[in-house]
Each structure stands twice: as C-alpha cells, then as structure tokens.
Structure 1
C-alpha cells in the first residue's frame, strides 16, 4: 500500500524505463522486422499470421534479444511502476471527492490496489504469453496467440480506463470544490 503514496515518483521512475523500451522498439526491433510493430504495441491486437510473421522476421537472435532485453528486464518493472502510479493517482483524486473521503483511508487504499490488479494481471499475462512465443515460435499454438492478442487489447483498455477514472474523479473533486465556494462566501 505504500506504493500508492508517491505516484509522481513512480511515474518519474517509469519514464526512463519507457524511453529504453521505446528506443529498443524503434531503433532495433522495427528495422530488424521490416517495420513491423512488436506484438505488445498493437493496440487492436494481432492475428496468428501477423504474430508468426513478426516472430519469423525477428529470427533467433532478435527473439533472444527481445526476450532478454525487453521481457526479462524492462517489462518486468514497467507494469508495476505504471500500475501503482495509476493506483496512486486514483487514490489522491478519490480522496478529494466527498463520497470517497467518508471511507477509511486503509479501505480506499485497498480499493485502489484492487482497481489496478486487472491491469497488472493482463500486462504480466501478456508478457508471459509473448515470452512463450519467443522461446518456441515453431510450437506456438494459435489459441495462445489469440489469448495474448486479447490480453494486449485489455492491457491498453485497462490503462485507458484508469486515465479516464482519474480524470473523472478530478472533475468531480473540482465541481465539489466550486460548489462549496459560494457557501463559504
């Protein structure tokens, strides 16, 4: 629960990790695969043939590089940084809304942790499935590819929902603050 106390610090910590992942994607992977986006960058998912095309274009060295330098390093850390930053910003935005202020602080923190769990589960699940594809591209099943594709979509959806909830809570808090101003005057 302490992770929720400093969402700004988590966000700042996530930035260099994101920059490394962006550089790896655009400076190494895309040129290596003829411009194909990595599977976890495909916001609308991917079909089995698209995944197999990407895996083939990577070749053995590229697959090893992606596995080691992306999934076993940066993408182990990035989801937890982003997830808890989302949870922390949600916590601080919710504390400014009267309904949530009535809740015990520990209850609100637990709700914020529960709130980010779906994002974390699908992001790490996607990472595991894509890692399995990288390890054994020949034996990968179409059902694994389809499931990974759904997880990629869900990861982006849950992240977007998190941003929308934070924005909505901030708007509610601002409206409540503006509604209270005339009473104080």
Structure 2
C-alpha cells in the first residue's frame, strides 16, 4: 500500500483511513481546523460550504467556509485570518478530474491545496493536509462544467466526508452536543 500521505485518489470509504493517519501523527480533534472552500452559487463548487455547514451542525467549532458565509476567491483572505495560530489546517475543496473514471473520488494529500486553479484564479496554497472532491471531468470550460455538475453527487460526497470526520475525529461529549449528525441511509 502507498504511504497514507502520498497524493492519491481514493474512494469515499477510504477517507476514514486517511483521516486516522492524520490523527496518528498526533493531531487531535481540537487541533484540526477545517477550511471549507467553495461557493453556494455553483452546484459543483458547493462541496466545501456543504461540508462546513454540516460539520458546524454536528458541533465542530474549528470550521470556516459554510453555506451562509462561503470561503471563495473573494473572501479567502478574511477566512484565512479566522484560523488561530497553531491549528493544523485541513483544506477541503471541489475539483475537476482529467478522466471520467476519477469523478466521485477524493484526492487526498499531506500538502496544501491550490484553490481556484482550474478556474484560472491565483489564490494562496492553503492547508497542511487537503481533500479535494472530484465532482466532474474537466472538459475545457471549468466554469460551465461546475455550473452543470450534479448537486446530488456533490451532496453525496460531502456527506461521505462529514461521516468520515465524525468517525476519525469524534467530538468529546460536551454540553449542547447530544449526538453526531446522522444522514439517512440510501
């Protein structure tokens, strides 16, 4: 098997394995900060804000980038300033794959993500670790492709990631947090 932090594409059921490897490096739930990149104005780019919103609903506090305040090209600098010093940043974003067979997979790595790269944006590389949901195939018109990406696929992938986070980095019982966010099984 490849090293757990080598950049690779994995299926959703392997997300827990990747996240647990981060924990095995000594990162605790309270050390981890989720930078959820994307916008609610594009179905294909809504992955990050959906994950951020659902993590918040589940009780995670170290989250920036939600449906009500997305972390996109216009707000990236503000969101980065929210991250307290000393936190380990897990950057989450949607991306487009080169091949149709990669759609639905997650690209994981122990390195920063380059948000907006496929759209031609020059934004800072962010994150100690990164997970990018491959939501569609890059067919040369990334803006159009993201606008016409299946929201169902994006929501399914966001749900998979939130469930993996809850498994690998569970919250300690605290006042006001009674149970993990549960999604209805398909």
Q: TM-score range by the shorter chain?
A: under 0.3
Looking at both structures, which has the greater relative contact order when contacts are Cα pairs under 8 Å and sequence separation is at least 6? 1
TM-score by length of 2: 0.27
**TM-score normalised to structure 1 length:** 0.27
Q: Which has the higher strand share?
A: 2
Of structures 1 and 2, the larger Rg is shown by: 1
Higher helix share: 1
